[in-house]
Structure 1
Amino acid sequence: MSNFNIEDHPHKRLNPLTNDWILVSPHRSKRPWQGQVEKTIIDERPKYDPSCYLCAGNERAGGHKNPDYKGTFVFTNDFSALLTNTPEGGMDEGSLFQAKSESGICKVICFSENHSLTIPEMEVEDIRKVIDVWCEQFEELGGNELINYVQIFENKGAIMGCSNPHPHGQIWSSSSVPVEPAKESVSQKAYFEKNGATLLGDYLKAELDKKERLLAQNEHFVALVPYWAVWPFETMIISKRPVQNVLQLTEEEKTAFADMYKQLTVKYDNLFETSFAYSAGLHQAPTDGKDYPEWHLHMHFYPPLLRSATVKKFMVGYEMLATPQRDITAEQAAKRLRDLSDIHYKKQ
């Protein structure tokens, strides 16, 4: 079609990190919304909750008692999805029935002793302490000969499966590289071998030139809506310098990372004036002792909210059976987020 317009006509976009495609239907976002709209739910929590198993001094679900910690606190998950003592083995009954044992270590990181806080409401210097813990844990877990990948992530909000509102994240480290980082590893390696530069390094340069999907940047990090975004307000934080993992960040870069983490999540909260739900996580090089010059540190944010504080985007029907699809374009989402205030709505 000679008069094709990417802002008006259905099209597919390629995610070069995973080689997956997404269907974008921008014409559908022009239809009037006749669905559910709800008012923002005010979520006011105390600084300390005696019933919270993550608050300082309280007993956890597994029977252990938390110390009277201040700031960050790390412990091995009482109900870990991966275990260090998993025996080697599996099942191999031909190509149709295969299984392999998987070992690992799962940890929980409390971001603060203050039960009422979330990342966007924390000070940059306190978020920096969280990043310092990420570095410590990445070094410790990645140095374990059992561990070949360290996945750092945060689930925020009940609709993203977060079972406790206390500010916290998790680390699941495993003996094999999980599916999504493995796909990214293949794509980044192929690009690096062909072009002599990291995929995300070149992508970031192009986005900085175009500017249409940028949200915020400082000297060392950029927040943007990726061209291939699936979720309505999906974003990424990418390091300007192509480092492979958090241990390669300078002290200045760690603080800049904390600053970008806060800037982005403040915009999220301001979008619908609610504590914005998301799943977020770092993708970085495997820890199997090999060199990965193609890897470029980045952090994904996958938020489900679509039109209000409680109306979410569901992956259903065609998206589960065929291809992920979105109506609002990455450019439209970026403009909405970019235009929001950098001051948290509770302080405005």
Structure 2
Amino acid sequence: MRTRQVFRSTGRLADGREIIYYDESPDTGRAEVADRRPLPPFSSGSQLRYDPLLDEWVTLAAHRQNRTFLPPPDECPLDPTRGDRLSEIPAGDYDVVVFENRFPSLAPAPAPPEPAADDDPALTARPGAGRCEVVCFTSDHSASFGDLSPERARTVVEAWADRTEALGARSDVAHVYPFENRGIEIGVTLQHPHGQIYAYPFVPPRIEAMTEAARKHRAATGGNLFDRVVADERRAGTRIVTEGEHWTAFVPAAARWPYEVRLFPLRRVSTLAELDTAQRDELARMYLDLVRGFDTLFPQPGEGTDPPTPYIAAWHQAPVAPDGTPDGEFGLHLQLFTLRRAPGKLKYLAGSESGMAAWINDVAPEDAAERIRTALPSQAAAAHPTDSKEQR
């Protein structure tokens, strides 16, 4: 894949929200296209409430109840604006675009009046300041991430890295989390291929736990926990799904989800912004391979096409200090997983998982690794080189 230069331009939507175009050609003029919608000024009423029993923050975002829910294809707000069909993207076309969410869980805004301690002694609250962004991978409403070209996937990687750096530099942000929810089983409310980025004002529990585990490992062994996990999985070999010059993907030995892959760079970095050009280039190809493999895990006999596999793609990055410096002990990695455990069957988070956070997996990680490995297009191309031209 030839590395492409990405051209970044910034505009404003009718209500003042920021929109950023990541174009593969220069001087498109898309950021200058005006948003013609009569929107009221943007505001949000998010609040953080502290749970003392778990030592965690919970976000209250009641204003999101009225967000857009599964509109018909011809009314999707993530499509480009065409004629009188106005959307969140004013331009008539785009490559990759990022904009502030119209219905964010977190956003800088005047906070509602806080109850005095005497009125509610059980409540500890603060404003839900932060930022939530939408990342549209393509203007093609009917596509998915797996349909992207390697060049377009590379543009998405550039957008992730750029937003990670920009959001991580904010004084009110403690962690930047790019992710994609795919499928109505996950709870997706807009079908257009897109992901999101949350800039949290606190360190999320999962990242906090990893950071603490890494700190303990360093104190006990003098080594880095993430490096050890990757090295141990590579030595074991049985759960490796695919490897490249710069990345390795494996099913973790203690996988929680029926089909789950962790993708790590072989040279440890803390955030997407720290990846070098070679790492970004290979990431675009390898990530596409994994997503396309997931798409073929659960074929439906007799229907001719495979149903989309619901998945969550979650980027785990280092927490950042108030000065914007990421924790260098943390190892960036992707967690890609599906809650589908078999054709027509989902993995429900029932009493043990939801009530106790004690996970029970229905599929042996070694079996899952074998199934995912054989589903990858790159494996099929290697097994049948004469058919490689037919691969996407």
What TM bracket, shorter-length normalisation? 0.7 to 0.9
Shift in Å, 1:174: 1.9
- Alignment partner of 1:257 out of 280, 283, 290: 283
Is 1:321 the counterpart of 2:355 in the alignment?
A: yes
Tell me the TM-score normalized by structure 2: 0.70
Counting only pairs closer than 5 Å after superposition, residues 136-215 of structure 1 correspond to structure 2 as 136-215=162-241
Residue equivalent to 2:310: 277
Which whole-Å CA distance do the structure 2 matches of 1:123 and 1:227 have between them? 32
Residue of structure 2 in register with 1:101 after alignment: 127
* 1:60 CA displacement: 12
Answer whether contact 2:289 2:376 (CA < 8 A) is retained.
Answer: no
- How far apart, in 2, do the equivalents of 1:106 and 1:341 lie? 32
Unmatched tracts of structure 1, length 5 or more: 1-47
Q: Deviations over 1:100-140 (max 9, x none)?
A: 33310111010011122212221111111001001111111
Tell me the C-alpha RMSD between the 2 structures.
Answer: 2.7
**Matching residue within 211, 221, 243 for 2:269:** 243
In 2 relative to 1, CA 113–64 (structure 1 residues): closer, same or farther, beyond 3 Å?
closer
Greater relative CO (CA pairs within 8 A, separation 6+): 1
Distance (whole Å) between structure 1 residues aligned to residue 225 and residue 375 of structure 2:
29
Q: Does 1:73 align with 2:97?
A: yes
Question: Is the Cα contact below 8 Å between 1:237 and 1:260 reproduced in 2?
Answer: no
Question: Which stretches in structure 2 are left out of the alignment for 5+ residues?
Answer: 1-71, 299-305, 382-389
CA distance 1:148–1:62, shift in 2 (3 Å): farther
The 3-state SS of whatever aligns with 1:234 is strand
The residue that corresponds to 2:74 in the other structure is: 50
Instruction: Deviation per CA, 1:300-344: give whole Å up to 9, x if none.
Output: 123111111x32111113333342111321111111111224169
From the superposition, tell whether residues 74 and 205 of structure 1 become closer, same or farther in structure 2 (CA, over 3 Å).
Answer: same
The TM-score, its normalising length taken from structure 1, stands at 0.79
Alignment of 1:292 with 2:316, yes or no, is no
Structure 1 residue 69: deviation in Å? Answer: 3.1
Equivalence for 2:342:
307
Q: Matches of 2:260 and 2:108 in 1, distance apart?
A: 34
The one-letter code matched in structure 2 to 1:320 is S
Q: Deviations over 1:243-273 (max 9, x none)?
A: 0111111111011111121111111111113
Cα distance change of structure 1 residues 233 and 291 upon mapping to structure 2, 3 Å threshold: closer
Partner Cα distance (2:83, 2:108) in 1: 24
**Alpha-carbon distance change, 65 to 271 in structure 1, aligned in 2, over 3 angstroms:** closer
Partners of 1:324 and 1:80 in 2: how far apart?
Answer: 30
The equivalent of 2:367 in structure 1 is 332
SS in structure 2 of the partner of residue 252 of structure 1: helix
Give 1:31's aligned residue. Answer: none
**Secondary structure at the residue paired with 1:146?**
coil
- Count the aligned residue pairs: 300
**Do 1:277 and 1:305's aligned partners in 2 also have CA atoms closer than 8 Å?**
yes
Deviations 1:17-76 (A, max 9, x none): xxxxxxxxxxxxxxxxxxxxxxxxxxxxxxx95322111115999974532232101111
